[in-house]
Structure 1
């Protein structure tokens, strides 16, 4: 895990803030991750609220070709993955031009809603973007707290 270095970016007056995540683990993928932001969040680990929607930007460079990209997001609580709905389910067209080619850089944009029935707990979030062969282009795990 990388050291905690937080850069807070004021997005809109009224404290809609984003944080560049530094406390994450790259869990393997053929893409190179340059930066990850999560909004709203003012410090790591991010505190999220049940029923609310959160937005992420992932800046990366692809190393392999892919016609399609699919999102998968889980909250891992006591070792058990809980599915978090990502919108849209395809990463194509959200800052990413598909087909993806090796060497192509992009800033992928997506949102995820914390399930309203999620327990109040500290957990690990696992976000994967898979290519058309089911291989991870991006895979990250980072800490969250659900309030």
Structure 2
């Protein structure tokens, strides 16, 4: 097993073991269905994200389509305006998902949500999409967070 595979497996196990189920809104999962969203650490909601820290995000979903690839797109929505929120790995196939994605199969997508020190202290909504080959959402979720010092 390659080092990268071991790291992904450990991240997945950590997220599954210590993650907190987060209330989320489905914002248009057109070709998939979300079962659970876990964020670690997030002991209460809205999740308080401390500047300079990174948070494990685990989304358990079932794909309704086959897809060779997947790409994550994340935004912070402030006053209704989506602002790109960079994540370390956009390729969902490197985030706990074995590609190609199979129809009617359940997956655990695991990624990191880094909170930069220069971000302002603010309440916002995170919108996280994972798109298939044709740009349709395998999942689209929204969940509230608060950035704190």
Q: CA deviation at 1:77?
A: 1.1
Aligned residues: 132
Mapped to 2, the partners of 1:49 and 1:80 lie a distance apart of 22
For 1:117, the equivalent position in structure 2 comes to 118
Q: Please give the secondary structure, in 2, of the residue aligned with 1:86.
A: coil
For 1:62, the equivalent position in structure 2 comes to 63
Structure 1 gap segments, 5+ residues each = 1-10, 12-16
Structure 2 gap segments, 5+ residues each = 1-13
TM-score with structure 1 length normalisation?
0.83
For 1:106, the equivalent position in structure 2 comes to 107
Alignment of 1:58-97 (within 5 A): 58-97=59-98
Alignment of 1:13-92 (within 5 A): 18-22=19-23, 24-29=24-29, 30-92=31-93
Mapped to 2, the partners of 1:46 and 1:93 lie a distance apart of 25
Mapped to 2, the partners of 1:50 and 1:81 lie a distance apart of 20
TM-score with structure 2 length normalisation?
0.82
Structure 1 residue runs of 4+, over 3 Å off? none
Q: Would you say the 8 A contact 1:119–1:146 is kept in 2?
A: yes
Q: CA deviation at 1:137?
A: 0.6
Q: Deviations over 1:75-132 (max 9, x none)?
A: 1112222222222110113221111111111111111212322211111110000111
Mapped to 1, the partners of 2:81 and 2:61 lie a distance apart of 28
RMSD: 1.6
Per residue, is there more helix in 1 or in 2? 2
Mapped to 1, the partners of 2:128 and 2:83 lie a distance apart of 12
Q: Would you say the 8 A contact 1:51–1:114 is kept in 2?
A: yes
